[in-house]
Amino acid sequence: MPGGEERVLRRRIRSVQSTKKITKAMELIAGSRIRKAEERVRAAVPYSEAITEIARDLAAAGGEAQSDLLVPREVKASALVVIAADRGLCGGYNSNVFRAGEGEVKGIARRGERYELITVGRKAEGYFRFRDYRIDHTFSGFSENPTYEDARAIARAVEARFNEGAYDKVELVYTRFVSIGVQEVVQRPLIPLDRETLEGGDGKPGTDGVGPSYEFEPDPSTLLESLVPRYVEARIYAALLNAAASEQAARQRAMKAASDNADELIINLTRKMNRARQDAITTEITEIVGGAEALRAGETNEPDTLLVASATYD
């Protein structure tokens, strides 16, 4: 029995070692991708800041709300763009986004409003579809490496439904990348764009002082109306890049924790296997000693047995 336990433990150790090789490789891959994702986030910041500043200056210069995307409405239906991952094995990254999205959906229901979900990532689609939430659009296949065209496709779908009157307000729910060790789930308004939305975007905060004076050609209203779709695309693209970097950071932490747990499990199983081996050796030694003692006792009693037999014969 001890020998069989030792074989079982040895198989488990080999299995854990194989799993550790996978988690360690995934940790290294995620670590290499974080740097690239972080660089993309930083590269997108100047554009996001610039387009936010221009939109704010146009609004301050007298740009009137002519586009449907600029006209505030009475909110009867809200849409949430929930950005998660296409794959798992990234710790609590997906569940944190899902929790925030569900909380907002419950808040919308308490206010007596309708809601629609636009899911980005296979995990988000699977989670909300399994729970019978209303999903209007789904996008997937690019969570780790989003492009501007992906952001444009999402923006076009959202804008079309907003212009049709299906939504009165659209918000983004995603994970903002602060640093490799810090990411936070945020909820940001997307459309309609008002001054509060512009001030709370990803660009520079507004200033209370007197800003520079510009001359616009054509008029600020025309420029603002043509700029709004690009602003929406830029906001979605920035959210996708932040989510991609956050996903890789979360996956690196999760795989490192898995590798560390594998090391600890291997140590514990090795100790248990060594104890089982010692028990097996002790049992074998005991059996050998017992057998030797039995043989020795048999050799000692054999002459007496012959003597008794001889006396009986006589």
8 A C-beta contact, residue 41 and residue 180: no
**Distance between CA atoms of 195 and 232, rounded to whole angstroms?**
14
Dig out the tokens for 210 from the structure: 């007197």
Residue 169 makes CB contacts below 8 A (sequence gap 6+) with 73, 75, 77, 78, 79, 189, 191, 192
Tell me the three state secondary structure of residue 307. Answer: helix
CA angle 89–23–129, rounded 5-degree value: 15
Q: Of 76, 158, 155, whose CA–CA distance to 115 is shortest?
A: 76
Tell me the three state secondary structure of residue 172. Answer: strand
Looking at 41, 90, 108, 273, which residue is catalytic? 90
CA angle 95–102–127, rounded 5-degree value: 55
Task: Estimate to the nearest angstrom the gap between the alpha carbon of 265 and the chain centroid.
Answer: 25
Give the strands of the sheet with 169-177, arranged side by side: 135-139, 114-120, 77-83, 169-177, 183-191
Other C-beta atoms lying within 10 Å of the C-beta of residue 103: 12
Q: Of 214, 74, 66, 240, whose CA–CA distance to 141 is shortest?
A: 240
Whether 274 is a known active-site residue: answer: no
**Known catalytic residues?**
90
